[in-house]
Amino acid sequence: MEISSLSLSQAVAAEFAPETTYLNSASCGLLPRRTVEAVKALADGTAAGVRGGAGSFEAVEAARAGFARLVGVGPDRVATGSSVAVHAGLIAASLPPGAEILAPEGEFSSVVSPFALRGDLRMRYVPLADLAESVRPGTALVAFSAVQSADGRVADLDAVRTAAAAHGARTLVDASQAAGWFPLDAGAYDYTVTGGFKFLLCPRGASFLTVTEEAQSALPPVFAGWVAAEDPWNSTYGPVERLAATARRFDEPPAFLAYHGAEHSLALLAQVGADALYAHSTGLAARFREGLAAIGHRAVPGESAIVAVPGLGGREPDLAAAGVMVSARAGNLRAAFHLYNTEADVTRALDVLG
């Protein structure tokens, strides 16, 4: 059940108490208080040697279900892991030598490196705006971020998906800079990969892979361990006899501290609701773009929660010294807005820049 906008501010007050003007969720999201408490409880239990102190698979399943709800798929289509690069590496391992991978220029390294470093795949890079029209017969996979890390541009998801389908290409979408504020239907793509420590507000070490039922058969179980078995607790010795029938067959052994926290972060995002998250984040970002223009700085246009100002990355130390946390990426000054940000944060950042 979604909470009202008034309750949103109350929930934020209960969960977050940043000591800075924090506009850096594109690098790392703030941990909610409930998440910190869950991680501490597991750490304390492990230190005390209590039964089950190492971690609970129930927490992993709760996080899996929470992420699935957020991106519009069933839990059986979600695999859990530790990083985008490992998920992308699994997909890279599924491709035959000579397969063509199409990606945007300047795409985030974890999305393209597992393919490029194989050495026997054909990489083709084009401007993000030309991605859809660049899909051609023989393209095996289109790999791209829903929202670009360097400058916050939002890809034309519908156009790329349509073009890929027309040419028989699979799609891999990195939702690390999108999931948590941007409404995404993960089931519309063959694969999505998402790092949990940004807008999902999870501890680092939680990540998610979604796989359509049809695409699941193409992935080799190269990272399979006992947790990926249909019957994990009877698969702890010797080769796994039968992998899980769902996307759980692609699970990595869980980093329990991360997933004990992720369960609660994802529950908070569900409580706020996707529509409220999108409206709040993009509304603040739009106000920041307008304020930047008023003081002579042109930001990358768009309706993204991530605002980038080309050539202004050198001001990041000045902002940090003033207690305004942003990042510098590819020469851009990058600010990102999320549920815990306010109009006062926008004003503070503009005052320092002005």
Q: Region 102-121: what's the mean pLDDT?
A: 98
Q: Answer yes or no: is 250 within a domain.
A: yes
Q: DSSP states of 17-80 as a string?
A: --SSEE-BTTT-PPPPHHHHHHHHHHHHHHHHT-TTTT--HHHHHHHHHHHHHHHTS-GGGEEE
State whether 262 and 187 are in the same domain.
Answer: yes
Amino acid of residue 163? A
Higher pLDDT, 58 or 51: 58
Residues 278, 267 share a domain:
no
* Cα end-to-end distance, the chain, whole Å: 41
In this structure, is the dihedral angle defined by the CA atoms of residues 66, 72, 74 and 77, taken in order, positive or negative? negative
Structurally, the chain folds into a number of domains equal to: 2
Tell me: do 254 and 127 sit in the same domain.
Answer: yes
The predicted structure's pLDDT at residue 291: 98
What's the length of the chain?
354
One domain, residues 22 and 75: no
Question: Are residue 73 and residue 220 in the same domain, yes or no?
Answer: yes
CA 27 and chain centroid, separation:
11
Classified as helix, coil or strand, 324 is strand
For 10-35, what is each residue's pLDDT tens digit? 778 899 999 999 999 999 999 999 99
Question: Is residue 48, in this structure, part of any structural domain at all?
Answer: no
335 and 226 in one domain?
no
280 shares its domain with 191: no
Q: How many CB atoms lie within 10 A of CB 72?
A: 15
User: What mean pLDDT do residues 158-187 have?
Assistant: 98
Instruction: Indicate the residue among 215, 248, 271 that finishes a domain.
Output: 271
Q: So what's the pLDDT on residue 4?
A: 53
CA-CA distance, 14 to 28, in Å (whole number)? 20
Q: For residue 335, what are the contacts with CB-CB under 8 A and spacing of at least 6? A: 23, 24, 285, 288, 306, 307, 308, 326, 349
Q: Which of 271, 301, 324 is the last residue of a domain?
A: 271
Contact 213, 219 (CB under 8 A): no
- What local confidence, expressed as pLDDT, does residue 7 receive? 67
- 344 and 242 part of one domain: no
**Tens-place pLDDT, residues 285-334:** 999 999 999 999 999 999 999 999 999 999 999 999 999 999 999 999 99
Q: Is the same domain home to 226 and 283?
A: no
What are the residues whose beta carbons fall under 8 Å from the beta carbon of 240, sequence distance 6 or more?
224, 225, 226, 228, 229
Residue 2: pLDDT over 50: no
CATH code of the domain covering residue 318: 3.90.1150.10
| Shared-domain flag, residues 126 and 184 | yes
pTM of the model: 0.95
Indicate if 82 and 183 belong to the same structural domain.
Answer: yes
pLDDT at 54: 87
Domain ranges, residue 258 = 57-271
CA 3/CA 273 separation, integer angstroms: 7
What CATH number should be reported for the domain holding residue 90? 3.40.640.10
With respect to residue 41, please indicate whether it lies within any of the assigned structural domains: no
pLDDT at 1 over 50: no
Percent of the chain with pLDDT over 70: 98
Q: Point out the domain boundary residue: 239, 271, 303.
A: 271
Verify that 328 and 200 share a domain, yes or no. no
Between the CA atoms of 266, 270, 274 and 280, what dihedral angle is there, to the nearest 10 degrees?
-80
CA angle, residues 150, 73, 60, in degrees to nearest 5: 85
In the chain, % of residues over pLDDT 90 = 94
User: What Rg value do the Cα atoms of the chain yield, rounded?
Assistant: 21
